[in-house]
Amino acid sequence: MDQIIVTGNGELSGEIPIAGAKNACLALMPATLLSEEPLTLTNAPRLSDIKTMTELLQSLGAEVTSLQDGQVLAMSSHDLTSHVADYDIVRKMRASNLVLGPMLARLGHAVVSLPGGCAIGARPMDLHIHGLEALGAEIELRDGYLHAKAPQGLKGATVEFSFASVGATENVLMAATLAKGTTVLKNAAREPEIVDLATCLRKMGARIEGDGTSEITIEGVDRLSGATHPVVADRIELGTYMLAPAIAGGTVECLGGRLDLVGAFVEKLDAAGIGVEETERGLKVARRNGRIRAVDVTTEPFPGFPTDLQAQMMALLCTAEGTSVLEEKIFENRFMHAPELVRMGAKIDVHGGTATVTGVDRLKGAPVMATDLRASVSLILAGLAAEGETVLSRVYHLDRGYEQLVRKLKGVGARIERIKGQ
């Protein structure tokens, strides 16, 4: 099994290009199921999760062609041959459940396995089911599969989510584009990935208003057409690489970065003593003066602090001056990286959904193990400023969310290598 070896060696300098957003692309790809005409995505990230979604769509009869070294995805669902999303594919990635709404809307029926993904806590399908049932779907769970049908077709309705779930908002939003009448989604997720999906659906002929707010209105149409759409920049990759010079020192410009994607995150960086400057090409990041200051962080749905940057932020705060408190309000079991950081000399005390981090002068390299996608990269960030060598095992998690991570960090001066397993 592959390993990544990081040796702390001082300041970083240079540029890092930010890829298209994984979470946006994984919602945009199933949108092809809504139309018989081609959908082309540009600025697609080159990740294993994208390959998994490609495999899933192809298993349903969709055509997916990867062009320009994987950065363009040309898709067509003119001749779907199956309505069953099989467990063997779906188990690899939670976002696979996003084929449910589009298939139900276009075909009138779908069978989708319960999903898999990172083991970071319960992420139930209840909100997806609630929303689709409100549109007239009949859904039954049998043998680990959701059997869904809409014998009378989907009909517009008011759907109020008990939690602003990104996945449920995306699934019901896509289904509602072909439902008869008006659908109103209340307490909808506001993430940039939702806005990106709505923008693409409008290009396909959908009638959507209010995306980016907590109330989205969709007027159903009879059919959707094809479109070409660029995937929005990945705000989680952006935030991750912004933390690299914050932890190791130096100055890095993140090409394609936008402040509106990471507002709450930048506020915490500012409080910690990290400067972020908007440039013509992206965002330039550098530590201001001296040691990082402790800050408290609470994860929240967008526009709050992203749960997907909590682990990386913890890595920064391990060497901050003072004590920081991180409260995880989105997913339970999302402090699995804490014991690994402790192996590197961090002082972290976890109680339920709260982690208290007391800054130390310096971390030390150690053998550590990745437990999930974001935990993996937090350990690499910590290794950038640690004394000696940090050896990260189970790095396959990284391939799901970061394209060419080793090359990008090497490009700004990091000493990092990926060693192939036997």
Helix then strand then coil, in percent of the chain rounded to 5, is 35, 30, 35
DSSP single-letter state for residue 321: B
**Which residue positions form the known binding site for UDP-N-acetyl-alpha-D-glucosamine?**
94, 123-127, 308, 330
Beta carbons of 189 and 301 less than 8 angstroms apart: yes
Domain range 22-230, CATH architecture: Alpha-beta prism (3.65)
Separation in Å, CA 228 to CA 8, 26, 32, 39, 261:
43, 16, 11, 6, 22
Q: How many CB atoms lie within 10 A of CB 140?
A: 10
The residue behind tokens 């410009």 is 253
| Catalytic option among 118, 200, 254, 318 | 118
Q: What is the DSSP string of 124-189?
A: -SHHHHHHHHHTT-EEEEETTEEEEE-TT--B--EEE-SS--HHHHHHHHHHHTTSBSEEEEES--
**Which residue positions form the known binding site for phosphoenolpyruvate?**
22-23
Distance between CA atoms of 171 and 123, rounded to whole angstroms?
14
Segments making up each domain of the chain, as ranges? 3-18+233-419, 22-230
DSSP-based three-state secondary structure for 94: helix
Phi, psi at residue 169, to the nearest 5°?
-60, -45
Q: Which residues pair with 110 in a beta bridge?
A: 148
Structure tokens at 364: 């030390």
Instruction: Output the CATH code of domain 3-18+233-419.
Output: 3.65.10.10
Distance between CA atoms of 257 and 239, rounded to whole angstroms?
9
What would the pLDDT profile of 95-119 be if each residue is shown by its tens digit? 899 999 999 999 999 999 987 544 4
Distance between CA atoms of 192 and 188, rounded to whole angstroms?
12
What pLDDT was estimated at residue 125?
A: 85
Phi, psi at residue 64, to the nearest 5°?
-130, 120
What pLDDT was estimated at residue 410?
A: 97
Beta carbons of 132 and 101 less than 8 angstroms apart: yes
Structure tokens at 191: 């993430």
What pLDDT was estimated at residue 114?
A: 84
Q: Which residues pair with 66 in a beta bridge?
A: 73
**Which residue positions form the known binding site?**
22-23, 94, 123-127, 308, 330
Nearest residue to 323 via CA among 352, 298, 292, 300: 292
Question: pTM of the prediction?
Answer: 0.90
118 assigned to active site = yes
Structure tokens at 9: 């060696």
What would the pLDDT profile of 35-88 be if each residue is shown by its tens digit? 999 999 999 999 989 999 999 999 999 999 999 999 999 999 999 999 999 999
Beta carbons of 397 and 372 less than 8 angstroms apart: yes
Report the Cα–Cα distance between both ends of the chain, in Å, rounded: 6
| pLDDT by position in tens, the chain (length 422) | 899 999 998 899 999 999 999 999 999 999 999 999 999 999 999 998 999 999 999 999 999 999 999 999 999 999 999 999 999 998 888 789 999 999 999 999 999 998 754 443 444 688 999 999 999 999 998 888 999 999 899 999 999 999 899 999 999 999 999 999 999 999 999 999 999 999 999 999 999 999 999 999 999 999 999 999 999 999 999 999 999 999 999 999 999 999 999 999 999 999 999 999 999 999 999 999 888 999 999 999 899 999 999 999 999 999 999 999 999 998 777 898 999 999 999 999 999 999 999 999 999 999 999 888 888 999 999 999 999 999 999 898 888 889 999 999 999 999 999 998 76
DSSP-based three-state secondary structure for 121: coil
Distance between CA atoms of 418 and 2, rounded to whole angstroms?
7
What would the pLDDT profile of 303-337 be if each residue is shown by its tens digit? 999 999 999 999 999 999 999 999 999 877 789 89
Separation in Å, CA 120 to CA 124, 190, 308, 376:
12, 22, 11, 13
Beta carbons of 376 and 398 less than 8 angstroms apart: yes
What pLDDT was estimated at residue 330?
A: 86
Query: Do 3-18+233-419 and 22-230 fold alike per CATH?
Result: yes
Distance between CA atoms of 261 and 242, rounded to whole angstroms?
13
